[in-house]
């Protein structure tokens, strides 16, 4: 079963239609450019509980939406443009 995101423009759609990108903050203590790039590419936050996220509906209306989601049970709390 696929996780569905309620797009305000297109209705509920499969998560595969969306693109999510986390902007990772790399600590200033890492000065080597290669290490910084590795951290930026592979070290991501994994918050537990309600979190706000930005998703882009790439295979639909091509608009950004803000999603408030509980990461413990994937329950969507709020969707806004």
Domain count, the chain: 1
Q: pLDDT tens digits, the chain, 81 residues: what are they?
A: 478 999 999 999 999 999 987 667 777 888 888 888 887 777 777 789 998 888 999 999 999 999 888 989 988 987 777
Q: CB of 20 within 8 A of CB of 5?
A: no
Q: CB of 29 within 8 A of CB of 38?
A: no
Q: CB of 55 within 8 A of CB of 72?
A: no
Which domain, by its residues, includes 34? 4-80
CATH code where residue 61 lies: 3.30.2270.10
pTM (global) more than 0.75? no
């Amino acid at each position: 079963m696929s996780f569905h995101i309620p797009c305000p423009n297109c209705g509920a759609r499969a998560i595969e239609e969306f693109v999510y990108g986390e902007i990772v903050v790399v600590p200033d203590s890492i000065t080597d450019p290669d290490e910084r790039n590795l951290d930026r590419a592979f070290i991501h936050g994994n918050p537990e509980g309600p979190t706000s996220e930005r998703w882009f509906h790439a295979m639909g209306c091509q608009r950004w939406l803000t999603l408030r989601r509980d990461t413990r049970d994937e329950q969507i709390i709020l969707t806004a443009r």
